[in-house]
Every structure is written in C-alpha cells, then in structure tokens.
Amino acid sequence: MAKLEELQWRGEPLRAKIYFTDAEVYEVYTDTSYTEPRSSSFIKQASFRLSEGNNNVNPLGISSSNTVSLQIYDENDYLNPTNTDSPYYNYLVSGIRMDIEISYNGTVFEPFGTWYITSWGGGFSDGWHSLVTVGASDRLNTIGSLDLPLLRAYSNVQASVLIGDVMNGIGISGSEYTIDSRINSSLMYGVAQGTKVRDFLNNICQILFARVIVDMNGIIRFVPALEAYLNGNELDLTPGNTGSLSSKTNSNINYNKLKVVYLEAGETTRETIINDNSHQLVEGANLITDITFSKKVLSVETVETIHEQTDDNAEVTDITFAAYQDGIQLNITAANGPINSLTISGTGMVVSTTERNVELDLVDASVIGGSTFSFDTKQMMTKADAQQIANKLKQYLIKMSKNIILQGTVLTPKLFTGDTINIGGTGTSYDGSYKVTAIELTIGENYSSNVTLIRL
C-alpha cells in the first residue's frame, strides 16, 4: 500500500484521446498550453462517478460501470452529432473508445481510465455553437451484457477457477483481470447462474462478499467488499483537509432479520441424463449443441447412439463430447450416408438438492418497520457454510448501513475506490480508518471531490 504524500489537487491537467479509428484520434486537454498545434479547443469540465457498485437495489450490491461526462469546447464543432460537415460525423456513435490521462508532474501523462462513449450532445445559443457533452462508461456494463460462455461442470472448485473460466470464455486474458486472494474460497458445486455474464458476476460477488471494478489502468479487479485493496493508496487526513464531514445511515438497509437460502445436496446417483431422438445425422461430421440437462449433473460417463439399419449400411464411426454445466456438446461422425432416425442416450452422476435456509436476528436494527433480508445463494452448500455466510452477512449489513461522507474537498485525484483514508485529530467519533467506496470527482475550471467511506 502506497502512502500518498500529496493530499490535495495541484492543478493536474487531463488529456482525452477519442479513437475514431486507429489513425484518426481526436485529442483535447483541460489546459490549452499542451495542445500542439495550438488550438482553442479544451475540456471545460470532466465529471467522474466512481463506485464499487450499485447498492440502491440490493444491499449486497450489483456490478455497474464507472462513468464520466466531459464538457468540451470544440472550436470547429466537430463533435456535435448533428454536424454533417464534421469529418467524424459517421463515427459519432456509441462504443467509441476514449482514453483519459492525467499528468501529476506536468510532463508525463498516466492512465485515468479507458472509457467507451455512450452519448454525444451539442447545441447552439447566443449566435454560436455550445459546449459538446460526451458521456462514457468503463467496459464493465458491456462485459455484463455478453452471453455466459459454456462452462464445465465441477464440484469443490475454487472461486478463482470459476471466475477465470468465465473471463477466459468471453475472451478476456489473464493479464486483463485480477482476483484478490482474500475472496478466494472453495465452492461445493461451482454454478454460474443466469444467461448473461452480469448474472454470474452479481451472484459470485454476493456469495464472496466481493466487488468487481475496472481500475484506471483498465484492469478488471475482483476485490473484497469490506477491506481495502491490497495495492491501494493510503491517505492521512487531519481536520484542516477533510472538508465537510457528515455521517448517514443507508435507508436501503432496513432489516431486523436475515435469511440465507441455499441448496442442500442429497444423494449422488448414476442416472440416465440424455435420452434424445430429435436429431438426424448427415454423412461426415455433425455438431450437436442443443441438448441440455434437466438435473444437476456432476459428470457424464457414457454417451451412446442407436439407429435402424439403412439401405447404405450407414453407421456412427466416432463420438466425442464435452460436458458443460447445463448441457453437452457432441461431435458425431457418420459414414456410408445419412442417418435419419437416431437415439442418443447417456448416463452420468446426478446429485439431488433440497432448498434450505438459516436465519439470524439483527441486533441494533430497525425496531419498527424492519423486514427480513433474504439472500438466495442459488448454490449447493452445507448448513455450516450457509451459517458462515449468514454470520458474514450480518457483519456486512452493519458495516454498510453507516457511511461517512467527505464533501467539497480538494483531495488528490490519485484517490480511488478501495483506498484507505485515516482521519485523526478531530477528537470525535470520526477518527479512524476508512475504505473509500465511492467518489464524485469534478476536474476543470473548478475542482471538487465528494468521497463516501465505510469504517474498516
């Protein structure tokens, strides 16, 4: 953890690079003295909303992208989406990449996020074109919208392996994501819930009490929800530089009881898991991908085919398969003509499940109007594991229900979610160590930073 010696903003300039094509890059700064050749275009204001996720819908949080909004004075009005004379007119669409960089020494620019543009806006007033507004977000929402890849069925799997298989399955290499070792644990049965990657991210992070964020270098990071990041920064503040301090309770956390729902594993038996007669084979190679399982299958042991004799004596000469969590992919080779009447059967190990739950009362919780927070893990586990999750969830809700807000500060733009802030010298209950969970940051003609904290 690096100690930040510079506590406040020192007028660090920003640079935005908008990549319309590899060769066509639009570049603009908050400080026009950096522009070569000289230009009067500049970034009037950059507003960042950085957070570890959205806790408004679910106290456990759901994954969501960080966002930025730029107000740009463009001397030629080229970024106005209605300007048909702009050389970028056909490129003013969603999904364009934008790199934002910052210089802490006035010379070298460092990454300040890789963003993907979601909106363009222009205008006209007082006889001249107005500022252009460019909205963008990091790639987390885009990744979440992807279809969940096919995953192997596994038991007693490390969470890091399951996460890695999903990331690799959507084309994200090992150098593009990190998993904090403190959230890694063994899952009795690694199930990826839902059909979209966001479904998986939300489920696995909630079970692990983790968050998934994209850092300023564009790296996807799986991190603990209640602990500072291992490679985060640390900032020591005294009453002179905290800005306005306030505390508040989270009205979204209004519970006096919690319930953890889980699946209790029953007997493991060998059963028929495939009985399909809906396919025909052509001569040569056949790929079948639409056979799904109706049970929780731990392994596939045999796959066989049966068919009637044909006039050409057609036959199946080879079968290979790959089993996934919800089905199987078959490669079947037929020789001597097509096979129009085919039965595919298979056996495997199946586990039965029963829905169970554990409950806990929350002390120091809502007395009147409180409700039960129900967390459906959607995972097979033991009662002891579910009880452990309930105990952790109890501590989590207590921590997340109380926030500290630093308002109107000019704290350094190096500050990021997951960093540690130590407040001392106030002689009040505010003294202590905190984790940064959200930042609203404005850089431009004016500078301000509002920081949300939870106590460590």
User: Judging by DSSP bridges, how do beta strands 177-179 and 154-158 pair with one another?
Assistant: unpaired
Q: pLDDT grade, residue 251 (50/70/90)?
A: low
Q: Give the mean model confidence (pLDDT) for residues 158-168.
A: 91
Give residue-wise pLDDT tens across range 324-360: 777 888 999 999 999 999 999 999 988 888 999 999 9
Give the per-residue pLDDT at 1: 62
Give the per-residue pLDDT at 141: 92
Give the per-residue pLDDT at 371: 82
**Contact 132/68 with Cβ under 8 angstroms?**
no
Report which of residues 156 and 17 the model is more confident about.
17
Report which of residues 52 and 156 the model is more confident about.
52
Give residue-wise pLDDT tens across range 213-247: 999 999 999 999 999 999 899 999 998 888 788 88
Q: Give the mean model confidence (pLDDT) for residues 51-72.
A: 89
The Cα–Cα gap between 451 and 242 comes to 10
DSSP letters for 326-355: SEEEEEEEEESS-B-SEEEEEEEEEEEEEE
329: nearest Cα among 289, 301, 297, 273: 289
Q: Phi and psi dihedrals of 360, rounded to 5? A: -140, 145
- DSSP-based three-state secondary structure for 425: coil
Which range of 79-88, 95-104, 389-398 scores highest in mean pLDDT? It is 95-104
Residue 155 clears pLDDT 70, i.e. is over it: no
* 171: alpha, beta or left? (left if phi > 0; alpha if psi -120 to 50): left
Give the per-residue pLDDT at 123: 73
61: nearest Cα among 207, 162, 176, 185: 207
Q: What's the DSSP call for residue 411?
A: B
Peptide bond into 37 cis (omega under 30): yes
Residue 362 clears pLDDT 70, i.e. is over it: yes
* 171-208 b/e (C-beta count within 10 Å ≥ 16 → b): ebeeeebbbbeebeeebbbbbbbeeebbebbbbbbbbb
Residue 368 clears pLDDT 50, i.e. is over it: no
Q: How large a percentage of the chain has pLDDT more than 90?
A: 59
The Cα–Cα gap between 51 and 403 comes to 14
Residue 309 clears pLDDT 60, i.e. is over it: yes
Tokens of 435: 């984790």
- Average pLDDT across the chain, whole number: 89
Residue 253 clears pLDDT 90, i.e. is over it: no
Residue 67 clears pLDDT 90, i.e. is over it: yes
Please count the other Cβ atoms lying within 10 Å of the Cβ belonging to residue 294. 9
Instruction: Provide the angle, in degrees to the nearest 10, between the axes of the packed helices 197-208 and 159-169.
Output: 160
Give the per-residue pLDDT at 352: 85
DSSP letters for 101-126: EEESSSS-EEEEEEEEEEEEE--EET
3-state helix, strand, coil in the chain (%, to 5): 15, 50, 40
Residue 5 clears pLDDT 80, i.e. is over it: yes
Q: Give the mean model confidence (pLDDT) for residues 300-327.
A: 90
Lowest-confidence region among 25-29, 97-101, 286-290, 349-353: 349-353
Give the per-residue pLDDT at 401: 79
Q: pLDDT grade, residue 190 (50/70/90)?
A: low
